[in-house]
Amino acid sequence: MSRKASGFRAWVIQRMSAIYLALGFIYLLVHFVVAPPADYVAWKAWLSGPLVNIGLALFFVSLLIHAWIGVRDVVIDYVHPFAIRLSVLTLVAVLLLGCGFWLLRSLVVVVI
């Protein structure tokens, strides 16, 4: 695939994830203003719903993808020495993967 198509694909993914994040944030904001969970049991019951759990998982996956593309583009544009660029991108990837696994564990624990 050409570099132009790769950049266009990243741009489209960035915009799609931004739209999903905006809609998800609006939903969460409205939900917590209108009917906030009163205690931990209510919070866990709300999170245990399959639509909410899947929606939150997709929200955070979108957030991680959005963050990766944004940081990757900034690093590629402004960090010119290859070794430093590779090190920074590796560190960011490891941190984002760690956050993703932590999130997955958190969402699974709530369901169980």
pLDDT band at residue 7 under the 50/70/90 scheme: confident
Closest CA relative to residue 73, chosen from 45, 92, 51? 92
pTM greater than 0.95 (yes/no): no
The 10 Å Cβ neighbour count of residue 38 is 8
How much is the average pLDDT of 96-105?
94
CATH code: domain of residue 16: 1.20.1300.10
Mean pLDDT of 75-87: 95
**Domain total of the chain:** 1
Q: What is the mean pLDDT of residues 9-17?
A: 95
Burial 49-70 (b: 16+ CB within 10 A, else e): eeebbebbeebbebbbbbebbe
Residue 83's domain comprises 3-111
pLDDT digits (tens, 9 = 90+) for 18-35: 999 999 999 999 999 998
Contact 102, 111 (CB under 8 A): no
